[in-house]
Structure 1
Amino acid sequence: MKYVVIDLEMNPVDREFREVKRQMKEEVIEFGAVRLDENFQQEAEFQCYVEPEYGKIKKHITNLTGIKQEMVDGKGHYAEAFQRFVDWIGEEETQIYSWSMSDIKQLKKECRFKLPDFDVKWLDSRWVDLQQVFDDRLGLHNNLALKHALGAMDHQFEGTQHTALADAINTSAILVLMQDDEKFRKTMQPVLDILQPKDDLASSIGDLCPDLLKLKQDLSD
């Protein structure tokens, strides 16, 4: 068994393409993924930009991701990039992880529109929502943002946020931690103390860790 952690960056479909927007509101403009072996050791990386077909890169997307139009020009469209991703995964039994289900929903919508012959069950049978697994392990009722999950682990983000490969690499750190129950419980116990305070000690920890208090507030909003 191999394990792939994926992250996507998207760009909105331009409003002039009204019929397209009824099928999908965004297009993938970057794939980023890492593959872990059976021991959850990273063994390969995958990254590619994708030229959108229904509009240019929006300014706010460039501000968020750093992706400019000239970076995707001539890089190939979704059908080519997605096939490269599937080929990179290969024939070996593989589970695919993402933080939330938004990425698989995007891939399925775009495949149905641009690759109608592709069987999206290929994605469904392999996909795991790591965010939900993480939240369930902690007994949380609200979804935890990736940056908060990493902060709770005291994990220093590697690379630049909102770049697909960096997000995938950092998400994989959570997957790796979750393979060791004892280490996971020890690492996350301060978070549980803050989110579910039982005594004055938890409040004292909160005073020393304002980021965790902000996390608690975000979850309660």
Structure 2
Amino acid sequence: MKHVVVDLEMNPVSREFREVRRKLNEEVIEIGAVRLDENFQQEAEFQCYVKPEYGPIKKHITSLTGITQAMVADKKTYAACFQDFVDWVGEEETKIYSWSMSDIKQLRSECRYKLPDFDIEWLNERWVDLQQEFDDRLGLHNSLALKHALGAMDHKFEGTQHTALADAINTSAILTLMQDDAKFKETMKPVLEILQPKDDLSSSIGDLCPELAKLQKDL
């Protein structure tokens, strides 16, 4: 069994494409992924920029991701890039993980619109929402953002946030940690202790992670 962790960066479909926007709000502009072996050791990386078909890269997307129109102008469009990703995953039994379900929802939508002959079940059968598994393991009612999950496990983010490959690599660190239950519990012990009901937890939670403080209020 292989394990692939994937992350996407997207760009909004321009408003001038009204008919397209009825079925597709965004387009993938970067796919980043890492493949782990059966022992959850990284063995390969995948990264590609994708040329959007319905409008140029928006300024706020460039500010967030660093991806400019010039960087994607001569790249393949979605259909070819996604097929490259499928070929890279290969035929071996594989689980595909992402942080939340937003990425698979995007791939489903874009495949239906741009690759109508692609069998969506290829995605559905392999996909795992790692964020949900992480939250369930900790007993959280609300989801942690990736950067806060990494902060909770005292893992320094490697690379630049909101770049697909870096996000995939850092997400894979969480997946790897979760395979050792004892190590996971020990690493997450400060978080688990904070989430236990006590009289006054506001200061300690706030010191650890503002996101966790919000979660505690909602418990």
Partner Cα distance (1:46, 1:92) in 2: 16
Counterpart of 2:136?
136
CA shift, 1:184, in A, is: 0.4
Q: Secondary structure at the match of 2:7?
A: strand
Unaligned regions of 5+ residues in structure 1, if any?
A: none
In 2 relative to 1, CA 199–217 (structure 1 residues): closer, same or farther, beyond 3 Å?
A: closer
Q: Where in structure 2 are there 5+ consecutive unaligned residues?
A: none
**What CA distance in whole angstroms lies between the structure 2 residues aligned with 1:134 and 1:26?**
27
1:203 Cα deviation after fit: 6.3
CA RMSD of aligned residues (A): 1.5
Distance (whole Å) between structure 1 residues aligned to residue 26 and residue 133 of structure 2: 26
TM-score between the two structures when normalised by the length of structure 2? 0.95
Report Cα offsets for 1:90-126 as digits up to 9, x if no partner.
0000000000000000000000000000000000000
Deviations 1:44-87, CA, capped at 9 Å, x for gaps: 00000000000000000000000000000111100000000000
SS at match of 1:11: strand
- Residue 217 of structure 1 is matched in structure 2 by 213
Go from structure 1 to structure 2 and tell me whether the alpha carbon gap of 1:199 and 1:181 turns closer, same or farther (over 3 Å shift).
Answer: farther
Q: How many Å apart are 1:210 and its aligned residue?
A: 1.5
Give the deviation of 1:195 after TM superposition: 2.8
Decide which moves more: 189-198 or 102-111: 189-198
Note the 1:22-37 alignment, pairs <5 A.
Answer: 22-37=22-37
Partner in structure 2 of residue 126 of structure 1: 126
Helix, strand or coil for the counterpart of 2:52?
A: coil
What is the match of residue 105 of structure 1? 105
Contact kept, 8 Å, 2:202 with 2:213, in 1: the verdict is no
Deviation at 1:189, TM superposition (A): 1.3
Secondary structure at the counterpart of residue 83 of structure 1: helix
Q: How far apart are residue 198 of structure 1 and its match? A: 2.7
**DSSP-derived class of the 2:105 partner:** helix
SS class of match (1:91): coil
The whole-number CA distance in structure 2 between the counterparts of 1:171 and 1:102 is 15
Whole-angstrom CA distance in 1 between matches of 2:208 and 2:162: 20
Normalising by structure 1, report the TM-score.
0.94
4+ residue runs over 6 A deviation: none
Q: Residue 192 of structure 2: SS of its match in structure 1?
A: helix
The share of aligned pairs that are identical, in percent, is 76
SS at the partner of 2:188? helix
Report 1:25-174 matches (<5 A). 25-174=25-174
Q: May I ask how many residue pairs the two structures share in their alignment?
A: 217
Q: CA deviation at 1:197?
A: 4.2
State the AA in 2 paired with 1:77: T
Q: Counterpart of 2:125 in structure 1: which amino acid?
A: S
- The DSSP-based 3-state class of the residue aligned with 1:35 is strand
